[in-house]
Amino acid sequence: MRSRIRLTALAVVFALLFVPQSLVAQGLVRVTPEEVGMSSERLDRLSLALESYVDEGRLAGAVTIVVRKGRIAYREGIGYRDVEAQAPMPSDGIFRIASQTKALASVGVMLLQEEGKLLITDPVGKYLPAFAETTVAEPNDEGGYDVVPARRPITIRDLLTHTAGISYGMGLLANRGPAADAWAEAGITGWYFADRDETVGETMARLAKLPMDEHPGERWIYGYNTDILGAMIEEISGQTLGDFLKQRLFDPLGMTDTHFFLPDSKLGRLATVYSSVGDGSSFERAPDPGHMVGQGHYVNGPRKAFSAGAGVLSTATDYATFLQMMLNGGELDGTRILSRKTVESMISDHLGDIAFRDGQGFGLGFSITHDPAAGGLPGSVGEFAWAGAYHSVYWVDPREEMVVVYLTQIIPAINLDDQQKVRSLVYQAIVD
pLDDT of the residue at 170? 66
Instruction: List, as one string, the DSSP characters of 366-396.
Output: SEEES-GGGGTS---TT-EEEEETTTEEEEE
Q: Can you tell me the distance from the alpha carbon of 67 to that of 295, in angstroms, rounded to the nearest whole number?
A: 29
Q: What are the helix (H) ranges across 93-224?
A: 101-114, 156-160, 180-185, 200-207
Q: Can you tell me the distance from the alpha carbon of 79 to that of 81, in angstroms, rounded to the nearest whole number?
A: 7
Question: Is the preceding peptide bond at 398 cis, omega within 30 degrees of 0?
Answer: no
pLDDT of the residue at 27? 83
pLDDT of the residue at 4? 44
pLDDT of the residue at 44? 98
Q: What are phi and psi of 396, to 5 degrees?
A: -125, 125
Q: Which H or E run includes 235?
A: helix 225-237
Q: Can you tell me the distance from the alpha carbon of 321 to that of 25, in angstroms, rounded to the nearest whole number?
A: 9
pLDDT of the residue at 313? 98
**118: closest CA among 291, 342, 424, 297?**
342
Q: Can you tell me the distance from the alpha carbon of 131 to that of 124, in angstroms, rounded to the nearest whole number?
A: 6
What single-letter DSSP state applies at residue 79? E
CA angle 148, 128, 246 (to 5 degrees): 135
pLDDT in tens, the chain (432 residues): 444 444 444 444 444 344 333 333 348 999 999 999 999 999 999 999 999 999 999 999 999 999 999 999 999 999 999 999 999 999 999 999 999 999 999 999 999 999 999 999 999 999 999 999 999 999 999 989 999 999 999 999 999 999 999 999 864 344 567 898 999 999 999 999 999 999 999 999 999 999 999 999 999 999 999 999 999 999 999 999 999 999 999 999 999 999 999 999 999 999 999 999 999 999 999 999 998 999 999 999 999 999 999 999 999 999 999 999 999 999 999 999 999 999 999 999 999 999 999 999 999 999 999 999 999 999 999 999 999 999 999 999 999 999 999 999 999 999 999 999 999 999 999 999
What lies within 8 Å, CB to CB, of 110 at 6+ separation is 120, 338, 342, 345, 346, 364
Query: Is 151 exposed, middle or buried (CB count within 10 Å of its CB: 0-12, 13-18, 19+)?
Result: exposed
Q: Can you tell me the distance from the alpha carbon of 3 to that of 16, in angstroms, rounded to the nearest whole number?
A: 20
Around Cβ 115, how many Cβ atoms within 10 Å?
11
**How would you classify the pairing of strands 87-88 and 95-96?**
unpaired
pLDDT of the residue at 175? 54
pLDDT of the residue at 176? 65
**138: closest CA among 80, 83, 72, 212?**
212
What lies within 8 Å, CB to CB, of 220 at 6+ separation is 161, 162, 163, 351, 354, 355, 356, 362
Domains along the chain? 1-91 (no CATH), 93-369 (3.40.710.10)
Q: Is there a contact between 298 and 261 (Cβ–Cβ < 8 Å)?
A: yes
Q: Can you tell me the distance from the alpha carbon of 245 to that of 230, in angstroms, rounded to the nearest whole number?
A: 10
Q: What is the pLDDT of residues 214-247, one digit of tens each?
A: 999 999 999 999 999 999 999 999 999 999 999 9
Q: Which amino acid is at 219?
A: R
Q: How far is CA 32 from the centre of its chain?
A: 28
